[in-house]
A = this chain, B = another copy of it.
Amino acid sequence: MPEFLRLVPPSEALDRLLANLPAGQIPDQEILPTSKALDRVLAASIIAPHPLPAFPRSTVDGYAVRAADTFGAGASLPAYLTLAGEIRMGASAGLTLQPGQAALVFTGGMLPERADAVVMLEDTQTAREGEIEVLKAAAVGQNALQVGEDVQAGETVLESGTRLRPQEIGGLMALGVVEVPVVRRPRVAILSTGDEVVAPETEAGPGQVRDVNSYALSALVERAGGLPVRYGILPDRYEPLLESARRALAECQAIVITAGSSVSTRDLTAQVIEALGEPGVLVHGVAIKPGKPTILAVAGGVPIVGLPGNPVSALVVAGLFVVPVIHRLLGERRAAATSRVTARLSVNIPSEAGREDYLPVHLKNSPEGLVAEPVYGRSNLIFTLVRADGLMRIPPEATGLAAGTPVEVALF
């Protein structure tokens, strides 16, 4: 049964939502050229088809040698080696070093058979045609990369659920993996309600406001890796709202509804969500400011987030609940660290215990490090967020924070 009266702490609320999503679902996937897969999430693990490097390579310009031939060599007592040849870049070494032999090799070049070290050019000199002096002893493996030193054949190089950054794209190319299976972007339905809301391109009359939420939330969904599907602006009436929500349930993998701001329209949203299916509303009211009237629900396996109508609350709450839902739908492995910075608070901040507060802050550099300066403005004002670099979190146990306190800021 939904608990309408108790405000649920945000982390518990999210856990409850995620726990009610179907477990072990395999997300839809598609095959993309690796060069077009930046920021997409792998739908399967990638196994190295061959080792990297695939052949022993020099890391310097120098002479490939058998290290044993240089033991004891020094400036006053060089080791004399016969030049067996020069290794051409991009070609097989094509020779085997005999004892007492060396071969000229450039950075990245392939070592000849039986070579086990490379002496840098600077540590050699040419005695006469076809012979070099090695002025420094080489240890086995010195200036040489072994086959498989980066990656072994058969090794899992990237796990399913990895989001592809430039280095993953590069690593895949190094292995010749030019196509990858990625998770299809989950379709996230966005429904805006409110009799006062009109489309952005229309002239807003007295008492009317333009639809901010559909577009700001679409952008947030897009950034998180989802595909926003806008269902338009709906009136504050049960039937049309339910009809659109049912359509969204059939067509999308997640639903976001921004409710009107009044108590009655918020209750309407909860009723509509309850009518969509089991288990229905899981959380109605979160111990967070802004965003108290947030609704979290699941119907027919589809996560549903009911957001407060005012744009600032809607964006803040979407960051806390919609973004993790998209990550879950993508099967994304949790990142070790999101983009959070620590900064010192510029002023004293009051806060109520028992509630997490999220305050938009502007970050400034100072000789003592980053300073977080609250951007004041009521939570209804979208340009408050425009002036901010991130959100400062005030933990629920705090009854206020003193100027100078180090605080964590989640960057936008």
Contact = CB atoms under 8 A, between A and B. Distances in A.
Contacts of A362: 336
A76 interface: no
A90 interface: yes
A412 interface: yes
A351 interface: no
Nearest to A174: B212
A380 B170 CA distance: 12
B215 A382 contact: no
Interface stretch (A15-23, A259-267, A393-401): A259-267
Contacts of A265: 106
B380 A59 contact: yes
Interface stretch (A64-72, A197-205, A274-282, A295-303): A197-205
Contacts of A57: 380
Interface string A352-384: 000000000011110000100000011011111
B215 A203 contact: no
A311 B150 CA distance: 13
Interface in A52-83: 52-55, 57, 59, 61
Interface stretch (A5-13, A127-135, A339-347): A339-347
A196 B35 contact: no
A220 interface: yes
A277 B178 CA distance: 37
Nearest to A107: B261
Interface stretch (A24-32, A161-169, A181-189, A324-332): A161-169
B310 A336 contact: no
B55 A206 contact: yes
Q: Give the contact-size bracket for chain A.
A: 35 or more
A213 interface: yes
Contact of A89 (B151, B196, B217): B196
A215 to B, nearest CB: 5
B385 A167 contact: yes
A215 B339 contact: no
Contact of A216 (B88, B166, B311): B166
A34 B336 CA distance: 33
B315 A336 contact: no
Interface string A202-233: 11111111111101111110110000000000
A337 interface: yes
B383 A157 contact: yes
Given A110-B206, A174-B212, A411-B339, A89 B165 contact: no
Given A107-B261, A171-B385, A341-B341, 6 more contacts: A108-B194, A110-B206, A157-B386, A174-B210, A337-B363, A339-B411
7 contacts: A35-B218, A54-B209, A108-B262, A166-B217, A169-B218, A170-B385, A171-B382
Interface of A: 34-35, 38-39, 52-55, 57, 59, 61, 87-93, 106-110, 145, 149-151, 157-158, 165-171, 173-176, 178, 194-198, 200-213, 215-220, 222-223, 236, 260-265, 309-311, 315, 335-337, 339-342, 362-365, 370, 377-378, 380-386, 388-390, 411-412
